[in-house]
Chains A and B, each alone.
Chain A
Amino acid sequence: MIQVENLRKEFKKTIKEPGLKGSFKSLFKPKTERVVAVDDISFEVPKGEILGFIGPNGAGKSTVIKMLTGILTPTSGRCTINGKNPTVNRKSYVKEIGVVFGQRTQLWWDLPLRETYGVLKEIYEVDEKSYRERMAFLNETLDLESFISSPVRTLSLGQRMRADIAASLLHSPKVLFLDEPTIGLDVVVKDNIRRAIEQINRQEQTTVILTTHDLADIELLADRIVMIDKGKNVFDGSVGELKTRYGQMRELNFVTDSTDPESALSYREHFSLDSEDVSVKREGSSVKVRFNSEAVAVSDILAYTLATVRVNDISVKDADIEEIIRRLYKQGVD
């Protein structure tokens, strides 16, 4: 449904030399260099999938999204939705998509929310009947009734986000682009929004492309992940595959009466491990041990811990996706 083929975007950046002399030079004779923000990216998204789009800051994620949403023109390559290309016919392409920018609102600041949807109805040419059904549905899913008469500028962040999502879905788009939709929201609101996205995806088969730094979003919503680093596509697969390939990290949690467990437990020396492979964090009587299950077996580390300290409660779990991503961001993908 969504095809991205050899997408490439270059920017011309002016180089400012450091110091006072540099900034005056840049005023009169600016030197420019070509920066490749997106370097030959290709992937496909089938209909109805929720795709998680991740990568470190400055990796080129937002640039790709902006090309997919018709904001930027690619330097080369192309992207299409059901064969439609935004550079060929922007208006026709854009009718099929909905976009939510987490950090900026698309709504009109001074208009009451209800009026906003009225304008969007005209802009997207939604007929009266569909509009009414749609508003009822969105109202129910996102719970807009309580603030639908208020001007947008008076809404709280959580309300505004819900309003923005509703705005992006008003015209029943085939694809929904969400750029950091849960940023700055409290736990309860985040949960509601995730549930709403999931419901819409399930009921309407809306393809969702979700850019986020909140890895819980990924874990709970994404069917598949594409990871971008330094403008290149470095991983394309399901969450499970990510964990299998890079998820050797496990977490050992236990509760102990011991007053100084850290000095008693010397995992590094005992198992001859690098500092990369094991880390210990203590909070009161709870201890969290992160370890590389390829460097030391689960059963070994379990046995050693039980033998060394008095343990009241113990569990082992998969490292969460955050750990995996953190390492990947730091080290790059080899």
Chain B
Amino acid sequence: MNLLTPERYITTTDGDPAGKPDVRFLTWFFPVWYAVFGVIICVLTRVTPPPRPDVTTAGTVAFFTEHHLTIQIGFVLLLILLGGAPLTNGLVLYHMKRMSVGSVFGYGYIAAMSVGALPGFLLVGVCYLTATFRPDRDPELIGWLYDLGNLSYNGSLGCFTTAYVVLAIAVLYDKNGVFPKWFGYVTVWQVITEVIATQFFLFYSGPLAWNGVLSLWWAVVVFSVWLGALIFVLRAATIGEPVDSPGLD
């Protein structure tokens, strides 16, 4: 576990980090993509931090009226940015395919991330954009879009759990040591904290509502730790791969 000692990094004779240049490029793309993603969802689309679940119908209409421009700009940018998700998820797939466990785990990860993206991003995008582009509709319908969008976006966190399960199993079973075992355990935390998102459907307020301290915010903290760890282990796995190793099937 000497994570920070220099000898863990294999360097070329020039002293540069080793690893394939295109894969190394993706390890830089990965955190940049998530940084832009974070700015869009937190500042523009207004889905995180989530708006209150316990507002009246008039409150939901006021929310969309007040933020309609940033929501529209935010989701347009998000739809463009999501084109880069195959690259970030593909980088994880690339390293999962280098593991001894076989490609099926990698494809399982991609499939689960893809399924999660439907309720997790596209449905909330459709709900928010419809609500802001059709403000003349019945306020009850606007309120319904508000609930559907937020329940879909936050409540679908459990969909990504499948991806975390296959990733954790792959890391823990892998004999090639592509990712460290501790990262497999950290991924298990992700599985458990995100399953609690199922509670969002039941509560309008309190610790287990969709803006609840236990169900959402503590899970966000764990997710941030997990994502930071993923960026770190992706970089370590990339520079640990011999430059002259054959390409993957």
A and B form one complex? no
